Amino acid sequence: MPDISPLLTGHLPAATAAYWPGGYWGHWAFYTTALITFALLMVMGAIYIERRLLGRMQSRLGPNRTGPFGLLQPVADALKVLIKEDIIPQPADRLVHWLAPVVAFVPVVMIFAVVPFQKGALLADLNIGILYVVAVSSLTTVGIFMAGWGSSNKYSLLGAMRNVAAVVSYEIPLVLSILGVVLIAGSLSLNEIVLAQDIPFIFLQPMGFLLFFMAACAEINRSPFDLMEADSEIVAGFHTEYSGMKFAMFYLVEYAEAIAMSAIISVLFLGGWRGPLLPPWLWFVIKVFAVFGFMVWTRATFPRVRIDQLMAFAWKFLLPLSLINLFVTAIQVLTIPDAPWLVFIINTAVMILLVIIWSGLFKVGWGRVEV
């Protein structure tokens, strides 16, 4: 049992494993356990927040029967889904069908390995952390495509194909909008990026934040880009044929992805664990839930886009804007590296101007119909 007192007091030694009781493996065991627990707990919190907040935004109450304020609703859901029958369709590819939830789930948990919770409090301080996140997070798509293929259901396959199309397209603006942050911070390590944020990068990179948020929403298939599980068109997409524990895994993946992306956004743009008064890890959790709440807000507001609109949005809006953003940021880093507020003003102006110019291309009916 490792000594967790430095974690509670907030004075952690460096992430290097040598300082830890139990050495390298003690460090590894503690953080692995802690991260999986953290991911599962955050998912339960996320499910609760999503259902309650969505309910209030739609003039409903949301679940409020189980426990105080319905706090035990995720527990009840989990128990229900655990004791349900596990059905595999007769024509399904059994091995792929069985393997898909695992393949989808593992990369999502792996994202948390490089997310810093405090100064130096992370499983692996990779010097290419953000590259690792980008690489690992898109692996989930493989699991989802396996689910769509293994179910032997045309709507599942359709949903999975849409997901692959979305991820392939949105990966590019996602990475390009990260690069602005990387340029300013001068490092790919998430720990270093947080340490570089004396001013949260959302001020220095407002457009980067906007583009990353939209691309991340599309990447993890949050509404309004939730085409792959569009209830009204293709039932539930890739997890139509899943029930019981496997369905629970996909449900977990959906929310763990959202939480992971919220964590990445809060690390890259909102200053990660940095904040006054409260302990760092609490700041981090608050920021993650704030970003997630913003995702719920957009989900409650916007209607779902069509697949052609999804593609057009990625290639005609996000890609050029993220390239321009990268170009502008690169010039700023070279010319005015020590004037953050000037950068803030310039970048905000550039963002407003570009969004207004580019959104002129996205009228209702592509400008053919005046409404």
Partner 1 sequence: MKFEHFGLGLLKGMTVTFRHIFRHPTVNQYPYQRLNVSRRIRGNELVWDKKRCTGCATCAKACPQGAIEIVTGANPVENRYEVRTYRVDTGYCIQCGLCVESCPYDAIFMGYAYERAKYRRRDLVQENDTLLESKERPKSGYFHPEVAAGLPAQTLLVEKIVERKD
Where along the sequence are the contacts to partner 1 (CB under 8 A)? Answer: 53, 55-61, 297-298, 300-302, 355-356, 359-360, 363-364
Question: For the CA atoms of 39, 203, 210, 38, what is the dihedral angle to 10 degrees?
Answer: 0
Nearer Cβ to partner 1 (53/71) = 53
CB of 61 to partner 1, least distance (A): 5
User: In terms of C-beta density within 10 A (0-12 exposed, 13-18 middle, 19 or more buried), how is residue 76 classed?
Assistant: middle
Of 144, 116, 93, residue with least CA distance to 283: 116
- At residue 178, the 3 state secondary structure works out as helix
Nearer to partner 1, 33 or 359 (CB): 359
Q: Measured from the CB atom, is 297 or 341 closer to partner 1?
A: 297
To which residue do tokens 């949260």 refer? 200
Cβ closest to partner 1, residue 91 vs residue 360: 360
How far, CA to CA in Å, does 203 sit from each of 199, 227, 232, 301? 7, 31, 38, 25
Contact between 258 and 252 (Cβ < 8 Å):
no
DSSP-H helix ranges across 196-243: 201-204, 206-219, 231-234
- In whole angstroms, the minimum distance from the beta carbon of 133 to partner 1 comes to 28
Q: Tell me how far apart the alpha carbons of residues 138 and 140 are, in angstroms, rounded to a whole number.
A: 5
- C-alpha torsion 43→45→51→55, nearest 10: -150
The distance of closest approach from Cβ of residue 313 to partner 1 in the complex, given in angstroms and rounded to an integer, is 12
Q: Closest approach of Cβ 107 to partner 1, in Å?
A: 31
* 19/297 with CB nearer partner 1: 297
Cβ-contact 73, 46 below 8 angstroms: no
User: Is 91 or 303 the residue whose CB approaches partner 1 more closely?
Assistant: 303
Q: How far is the CB of 170 from partner 1 (least distance, A)?
A: 18
In whole angstroms, give the CA distance from residue 72 to residue 199.
38
Separation between Cα atoms, residue 38 and residue 109, nearest integer Å? 10
- Give me the least distance between CB of 296 and partner 1, in Å please: 10
Alpha-carbon distance of 50 to 54, in angstroms, equals 6
C-beta closer to partner 1: residue 149 or 317? 317
Supply the minimum distance, in Å, between the C-beta of residue 226 and partner 1.
17
| Choice between 64 and 152, CB closer to partner 1 | 64
Proportion of the chain in helix, strand, coil states, percent, rounded to 5: 70, 0, 30
For 261, the token pair is 């992306």
Residue-wise DSSP of 76-134: HHHHHHHTS-----TTS-HHHHHHHHHHHHHHHHHHGGG--SSTT-SS---TTHHHHHH
CB of 213 to partner 1, least distance (A): 13
User: Smallest distance from the beta carbon of 362 to partner 1, in angstroms?
Assistant: 8
Structure tokens at 120: 């130096």
CB nearer to partner 1: give 57 or 333.
Answer: 57
Closest CB to partner 1 among residues 140, 322 = 322
What is the smallest separation between the CB atom of 60 and partner 1, expressed in angstroms? 6
